[in-house]
Amino acid sequence: MYEMRPGPNQHGSAVVWHVTAKQAAFALCGQQLSERADITQDEQARHCPPCMDSFAQLVTSKAV
């Protein structure tokens, strides 16, 4: 249902992994994601903290 997609962080200074619903244009943190990311260091990118927080809340709410 959710997937990880690389994209610029909220400062645009680095690439991070965002959490996004399938085929959504925006990550959970509100960052807009482009279809094809211009990234060559995906695996070294960190996770987007706001996305991870939102995702954790989603998972928690669904688990109850």
At residue 50, what is the residue type? P
At residue 60, what is the residue type? T
Query: What part of residues 3-32 is at the interface with Zn ion (CB under 5 A)?
Result: 18, 27, 29, 31
Closer CB to Zn ion, 15 or 29, in the complex: 29
What is the DSSP code (8-state) at residue 45? P
Q: Select from 32-40, 45-53, 56-64 the region that touches Zn ion (CB under 5 A).
A: 45-53
Shortest Å, Cβ 61 to Zn ion: 18
Q: Which of 5, 6, 15, 48 binds Zn ion (CB under 5 A)?
A: 48
Beta bridge partners of 47: 17
